[in-house]
Amino acid sequence: MDQIPASFPNYLPAPELQKYPPLEPFEHHEHGKNADSTFPDLFPQGAGVIEHLTPQFGSEVRGIQLSQLTNKGKDQLALFVAQRKVVAFRDQDFAHLSIDNALEYGGYFGRHLIHPTSAAPKGYPEIHLVHRGPEAKTCANALHSRNSAVYWHSDLSFEEQPPGTTFLYVLDGPPSGGDTIFADMVQAYRRLSPEFRKRLHGLTAEHTSAEHIQSERGKSRRPAITTAHPIVRTHPATGEKAIFVNDVITKRIVGLKKEESDLLLKFLFDQTAFSHDLQVRLRWKPGTVVVYDNRVTSHAALFDFEDGYRRHLARLTPQAERPYETPFQEE
């Protein structure tokens, strides 16, 4: 089984890790903000079959090709994903595009964010690769020192302008297992009592890349960064508020003592992990492109597939605005 070739060898990781200077701020244009909410260009004349996974969160779509969308259709895609938070588009030709064309497509939604440490195809550091070859003992290694290998996170939340509309597409996968679970951080906010929500407003928390870089033996394209973001974040297209902390990257709440910060963060992390009615599990099937909004979701890969198979995905990670908070309002 270890001789299984990659279906997309042009997406195999290269060892190069070029150095880059710290990122400079840029002005992000949110394409979903003024998009037509009836989605005439995303689902023209009733095209597309939409299945909602839960009433509030997560959808699967068949019958449209993302690669064929006009700019208006892409604007409406950004809004649709902001509303549904995570959407799996099935039977897509996206992986068959050239990498240059894929990057041009993703660049419509924001400046590409180059991951500080992850592998990338040769010459394309903007592509984030998730790759476990058939020779890797992925599941055994992941569970060697832990009972669970689930790490909830929002991609690269330590950046001053973390990702927004994000594209993750499958290249190879095991016949079962290796799915990705997503959590709705808008509903996580709404589940809290009004008094608790009010207390979270005005608090900021530090997100850092230092531990991640350390785990990679200090190898990084850019220096480590620590950034404070509001715990309650507002989405610019929908106006919805979401909890914006995650237990991989968020380390402390500014202004609180360690014990106070640890207690409050653990409560918020546990709500994400244990509230299964805030979650959906998306199965990777050939031709699947999952589009999710990093501003209002957390997610985790599942290491429950059999060793001996290749799990290979690619991600386009356009940056969005710097996280901001709008005033508390009772809902």
Residue 3 in domain? no
User: Looking at the domain assignment, is residue 312 inside a domain?
Assistant: yes
Task: Return d(Cα 265, Cα 292) in angstroms, integer.
Answer: 24
Local confidence band at 148 (pLDDT 50, 70, 90 cut-offs): confident
CA distance 89 to 48: 10
Q: Domain range for residue 120?
A: 30-316
Residue 178 counted as domain residue: yes
Q: Strands 226-230 and 279-282: what pairing? A: unpaired
> Is residue 325 assigned to a domain?
no
pLDDT tens-digit map of 190-247:
999 999 999 999 999 999 999 888 877 778 999 999 999 999 999 999 999 999 999 9
The total number of structural domains in the chain stands at 1
pLDDT of residue 70: 98
Instruction: CATH number of the domain at 86, please.
Output: 3.60.130.10
Note the pTM of the prediction, 2 decimals. Answer: 0.96
Residue 191 forms part of a structural domain: yes
Residue 235 forms part of a structural domain: yes
Please report the pLDDT score of residue 4 as a whole number: 79
Alpha-carbon Rg for the chain in angstroms:
19
Residue 299 included in any domain? yes
pLDDT at 2 over 60: no
55 found inside a domain: yes
pLDDT digits (tens, 9 = 90+) for 282-300: 999 999 999 999 999 999 9
Write out pLDDT tens, residues 52-108. Answer: 999 999 999 999 999 999 999 999 999 999 999 999 999 999 999 999 999 999 999
- Tell me the per-residue pLDDT of 298-331, one tens digit each, with 9 for 90 and over: 999 998 888 889 999 999 999 999 999 999 988 7
